[in-house]
A and B are shown apart, each in its own frame.
Chain A
């Protein structure tokens, strides 16, 4: 196969030397040439030793050519021959004690290096270089250089400044142009105007051997503003790549059965009518009907129910449900955008349009600021023109006003604070996906939680095990060992915790969809659904499974859902901050009531449909409340999207993570009240920064309008305000 391929490689045939070489060598070269880039997620990498151990383990795998761990992203990029599979790499890393997951390189656009960020950094570097040089020349001019020397320095400054401004300022020109074409004003319009006007008047002054040229101030303006842009971009890029990574962790493949043979295909290629095999533990890829096999399904992410439901031939299943016990073969009835997973997308899109109307603090400032600056500068121009009749003086004054008022510090005021705050929250395991999410989070006054998967882990705990007859406990532990069903595993955990040794149960057999059967001292022992174990037991409250020995009465083992770590702290913390906490769940009433009472949540609703949740959130918003929604399931997506701010755990369904502004990377919920406190602090700093920038303007503008502003004063005011604003932002950390 490889030999046949080799003959078709034009490069090999075209080079005469290759023809003469041993065919074996050619094959080896082609194998080596077919390199693949694999990406792995290494969430546990925390220090240099772990990083080195991971790289060593990866390089030890046969066929790996290069492996490099990126600690900032907690990822490993591996270049390897085509024979290496991600499973081999994950196995090697696990053996070395490093947690690793395969990443879908297709979903991960960030495998190419971040081009926009690099472009901004390049412009920032050029602007910095030019600023330093021109500033040195300006210092001599301010120090008293006169006549020909001053003109020479101005000319050299112009030669440096012109190409720099043309190259480094491009992001501003582009944004300003697109804003003007839409007929609106943004921060970039006064920036562009200031840059262009000061460069033109300074050039004119230089030609006329004038005393004042603002090349240094213009370049400094570019430099500080680009620094703000770069910070802003970086914060968002980190969040975006982490969010992409969560999506890439779910490698979307399905097993299709065609003509009796199984093949693994991407989910996107499935068509209606395809037969699909779903193994235990796998997620159902598309909507369909069960054709063969029986099992149980976990629908917690879709409906919020904790109790698994039965699935057998003829039962309709939806994309997103998890198959628990037995293998299923299903026939697809709806794929892609028609599945129930996507049915809520429209609802989400409608809900989100409300949030997009939110205007950030920076936008509000720009709206006040941009027209004000233009009017002030135009008035100064008109006043001086009328007063002196000298066009050159009037233009100079107008340029001075523009450069002094230019929102240099304003351009840094928001990005510097959000970078500091997002960095702090990222270290606590909270990912801020949206640029304005912090500001919106700070405004929230009602917190609405989902139950299953958000306040609880969606992982059952066998609380009824301890209440079981001590003679039966070893039997329950023994039979539960035979299954990977979540309820059976909960019993095994409970037995371990109680120190119960499992009894030797023989002939263990799992009956998918019903339970487990075994033999103990010649008697049949069954653990499973009441209808299957037989006998009559009173219908238990909440989630339960039944244990029956021979013809005895079946015994109920009750389960409760485990509380997520930090759930209590989160609810109490939010209450302490003066928020009202509510609980909305699709689960049955007793479970919801028990949880609400144990956490001290006064307002709760059970059995809610997805649309009802969204309607509830919208009703609260309609009454003037700003809702913080936390949820993880498909049934929460519309509510997450319509809330003022939203957060979902990393275990949530992708649709829910996409709909929310923030993602919790750790299991711990207590980061939520902390995030809100940090957000409030950040908003306070942003407002302070605006005030600081305004104070500098108020001090310097009268000088500029009066014509007393020299390039020295402009440069000093600009750098002083930018540095104060950045230092103030660092206080958030």
Chain B
């Protein structure tokens, strides 16, 4: 049963990572335009480098 001392914190930690990722998606406006984002991924436009924030 000693294994529980590792497994339970580990499972909680993994869950917390998932929760933190959810918070991040929420903070960065990823639920504002579900329809547009779903189609954007299929666009035929490609670029060589990430867009610059100027």
Interface residues of A (CB under 8 A from B): 47-49, 51-52, 65, 69-73, 113, 118, 121-122, 125-126, 129, 132-133, 136, 149, 152, 156, 160
A70 partner residues in chain B, CB cutoff 8 A = 32-33, 36
Q: A125-B22, A129-B16 are in contact. List 16 more A-B contacts (CB 8 A).
A: A47-B39, A49-B43, A51-B36, A51-B39, A51-B43, A52-B45, A70-B32, A70-B33, A71-B33, A113-B32, A118-B26, A125-B23, A132-B15, A133-B12, A156-B8, A160-B12
* B17-42 interface bits toward A, Cβ cutoff 8 Å, 1 = contact, 0 = none: 01100110010010111111001101
List, sorted by A's number, 22 A–B pairs whose CB atoms are closer than 8 Å: A48-B42, A48-B43, A49-B43, A51-B36, A52-B45, A65-B54, A69-B36, A70-B32, A70-B33, A70-B36, A71-B33, A71-B35, A72-B36, A113-B32, A118-B31, A125-B19, A129-B18, A129-B22, A132-B15, A133-B15, A136-B11, A149-B4
Closest to B29 in A: A113
B1 interfacial contact with A, CB 8 Å: yes
A149 partner residues in chain B, CB cutoff 8 A = 1, 4
Interface residues of B (CB under 8 A from A): 1, 4, 8, 11-12, 15-16, 18-19, 22-23, 26, 29, 31-36, 39-40, 42-43, 45, 54
Of all A-B residue pairs in the complex, the 3 with the closest CB atoms, nearest first, are A71-B36, A48-B39, A70-B33
User: Main SS of chain B's interface residues?
Assistant: helix
Known A-B contacts A122-B26, A125-B26; the reply to A71 vs B39 at CB < 8 A is yes
Contact of A129 among B15, B29, B33, B35 (CB under 8 A): B15
Chain B min CB distance to A282 (Å): 34
A156 partner residues in chain B, CB cutoff 8 A = 8, 12
The number of A-B residue pairs with CB atoms under 8 Å apart is 56
Question: Considering the chains assembled together, what is the distance between the CA atoms of A453 and B20 in angstroms?
Answer: 53
A132 partner residues in chain B, CB cutoff 8 A = 15
Chain A min CB distance to B13 (Å): 11
Question: Considering the chains assembled together, what is the distance between the CA atoms of A265 and B33 in angstroms?
Answer: 34
A118 partner residues in chain B, CB cutoff 8 A = 26, 31
Chain A min CB distance to B31 (Å): 7
Question: Considering the chains assembled together, what is the distance between the CA atoms of A70 and B40 in angstroms?
Answer: 11
Question: Considering the chains assembled together, what is the distance between the CA atoms of A226 and B49 in angstroms?
Answer: 41
Chain A min CB distance to B20 (Å): 10
A125 partner residues in chain B, CB cutoff 8 A = 19, 22-23, 26
Closest to A124 in B: B22
User: Main SS of chain A's interface residues?
Assistant: helix
Question: Considering the chains assembled together, what is the distance between the CA atoms of A49 and B40 in angstroms?
Answer: 9
Chain A min CB distance to B5 (Å): 10
Known A-B contacts A52-B45, A136-B11; the reply to A122 vs B32 at CB < 8 A is no
B26 & A48 in contact (Cβ 8 Å cutoff): no
Chain B min CB distance to A620 (Å): 41
B29 partner residues in chain A, CB cutoff 8 A = 113
B45 partner residues in chain A, CB cutoff 8 A = 52
Chain B min CB distance to A432 (Å): 19
| Max chain A C-beta neighbours (<10 A), residue from B1, B16, B22, B42 | B22
Question: Considering the chains assembled together, what is the distance between the CA atoms of A452 and B32 in angstroms?
Answer: 38
Closest to B39 in A: A48
A69 partner residues in chain B, CB cutoff 8 A = 36
Question: Considering the chains assembled together, what is the distance between the CA atoms of A160 and B12 in angstroms?
Answer: 10
Question: Considering the chains assembled together, what is the distance between the CA atoms of A156 and B40 in angstroms?
Answer: 43
Chain B min CB distance to A114 (Å): 8
B19 partner residues in chain A, CB cutoff 8 A = 125-126, 129
Known A-B contacts A125-B23, A136-B11, A152-B4; the reply to A72 vs B32 at CB < 8 A is yes
Question: Considering the chains assembled together, what is the distance between the CA atoms of A51 and B29 in angstroms?
Answer: 18
B36 partner residues in chain A, CB cutoff 8 A = 51, 69-72
B15 & A51 in contact (Cβ 8 Å cutoff): no
Question: Considering the chains assembled together, what is the distance between the CA atoms of A619 and B11 in angstroms?
Answer: 66
Chain B min CB distance to A127 (Å): 11
Closest to A119 in B: B26
Question: Considering the chains assembled together, what is the distance between the CA atoms of A51 and B41 in angstroms?
Answer: 12
Chain A min CB distance to B29 (Å): 6
Closest to A152 in B: B4
Closest to A50 in B: B39
A52 & B35 in contact (Cβ 8 Å cutoff): no
Closest to A65 in B: B54
A122 & B18 in contact (Cβ 8 Å cutoff): no
Known A-B contacts A71-B39, A129-B18; the reply to A121 vs B1 at CB < 8 A is no
Chain B min CB distance to A108 (Å): 14
Contact of B40 among A51, A126, A129, A152 (CB under 8 A): A51
B43 & A52 in contact (Cβ 8 Å cutoff): yes
Known A-B contacts A48-B42, A126-B19, A133-B11; the reply to A121 vs B33 at CB < 8 A is no
Question: Considering the chains assembled together, what is the distance between the CA atoms of A121 and B34 in angstroms?
Answer: 14
Known A-B contacts A136-B11, A149-B1; the reply to A121 vs B31 at CB < 8 A is yes
B23 & A122 in contact (Cβ 8 Å cutoff): yes
Chain A min CB distance to B41 (Å): 9
Question: Considering the chains assembled together, what is the distance between the CA atoms of A149 and B8 in angstroms?
Answer: 12
Question: Considering the chains assembled together, what is the distance between the CA atoms of A456 and B23 in angstroms?
Answer: 51
A71 partner residues in chain B, CB cutoff 8 A = 33, 35-36, 39
A72 & B39 in contact (Cβ 8 Å cutoff): no
Question: Considering the chains assembled together, what is the distance between the CA atoms of A73 and B29 in angstroms?
Answer: 14
Contact of B35 among A72, A122, A133, A152 (CB under 8 A): A72
Question: Considering the chains assembled together, what is the distance between the CA atoms of A73 and B36 in angstroms?
Answer: 9
Question: Considering the chains assembled together, what is the distance between the CA atoms of A48 and B43 in angstroms?
Answer: 6
Closest to B9 in A: A156
Closest to A140 in B: B4
Closest to B20 in A: A129
B34 partner residues in chain A, CB cutoff 8 A = 72
Chain A min CB distance to B11 (Å): 7
Question: Considering the chains assembled together, what is the distance between the CA atoms of A125 and B4 in angstroms?
Answer: 26
Chain A min CB distance to B44 (Å): 8
Closest to A148 in B: B1
Closest to A117 in B: B31
B4 partner residues in chain A, CB cutoff 8 A = 149, 152
Known A-B contacts A70-B33, A71-B35, A73-B33; the reply to A121 vs B26 at CB < 8 A is yes
